[in-house]
Amino acid sequence: MRMRARSIAVRHAPRCASSIVITIFELLVIFFALLASPLWYRACYAATMNKESRPLSEAQAAYGEAEKNLLFGTPLDTSWTSKEWVHYQDVRHLFIPFLLGLCVLGCFVPRLAHGCEVSVRHLAVAVVLMALIGCFFVLFWRGLHGLLFRNTYWQMTMFDKSYYVFPRSYFLNTILFSFLITLTFDAARILKTTIRESIGMKTMYQRGSHETV
């Protein structure tokens, strides 16, 4: 009995790993798609504006300028501090290889998705992870930047334009919404699999009943 359970676990291990990889891939794609969306930026910025915020039109213009700098290396204007120039250059050096790696991974996703099933356990882990990031976002944000960068130029102050244009709430909302969309997709897959299995079992039961009669 133990040997059988172990063989089943080994057989399903690749499927579990594939489902985790696909979920992470979906999460990252959604996250970067939201970051690249001016509509999402406008909605987030408008929802979190306070008395220290810059006008929405000014923030959107700065957002577009930073996006061009990140994607195409377009120089920032003189309203950005020298610290921001260095930081966005560091971000670009990380972002471009990461984006290429994500594209390469996307080529293998269709093969990984074949016969892959998302489990409720993975869904529960993702929910817990989303809750932890939401509750301890400052620690998460500092730890992530501490791992990615060897300097402290990512620490923006009130003298930096990024402090107003890209507040932490923008990234927090983007991360949480990315989790929410990914979890919705995974829950839909689980529901689809459950319905398909229930229909299959019902069909087998009906066939067995007819054969018995």
Tens-digit pLDDT profile for residues 44-69: 998 887 777 888 899 999 999 999 99
User: What mean pLDDT do residues 71-84 have?
Assistant: 93
Query: Concatenated DSSP letters for 18-70?
Result: HHHHHHHHHHHHHHHHHHT-HHHHHHHHHHS--TTPPPHHHHHHHHHHHHHHH
Q: What is the DSSP letter of 166?
A: S
The reported pLDDT for the residue numbered 192 is: 79
156 belongs to a structural domain: yes
Tokens of 37: 């969306």
| CA nearest to 42, candidates 33, 34, 52 | 34
209 belongs to a structural domain: no
Rounded to whole angstroms, the Cα distance separating 179 from 174 reads 9
Confidence class for position 93, pLDDT limits 50, 70, 90? very high
106 belongs to a structural domain: yes
Residue with tokens 């809750």: 131
Rounded to two decimals, the pTM is 0.82
Rounded to whole angstroms, the Cα distance separating 152 from 142 reads 10
Amino acid at 90: D
207 belongs to a structural domain: no
159 belongs to a structural domain: yes
Rounded to whole angstroms, the Cα distance separating 196 from 202 reads 10
208 belongs to a structural domain: no
Rounded to whole angstroms, the Cα distance separating 105 from 48 reads 34
The reported pLDDT for the residue numbered 77 is: 92
Cα 75–Cα 80–Cα 86 angle in degrees, nearest 5: 65
**Chain mean pLDDT for the chain:** 83
204 belongs to a structural domain: no
Per the CB < 8 A criterion, the answer to whether 122 and 23 are in contact is yes
93 belongs to a structural domain: yes
- Say yes or no to pLDDT of 196 above 80: no
* Domain count of the fold of the chain: 1
Which structural domain, as residue segments, surrounds residue 157? 2-199
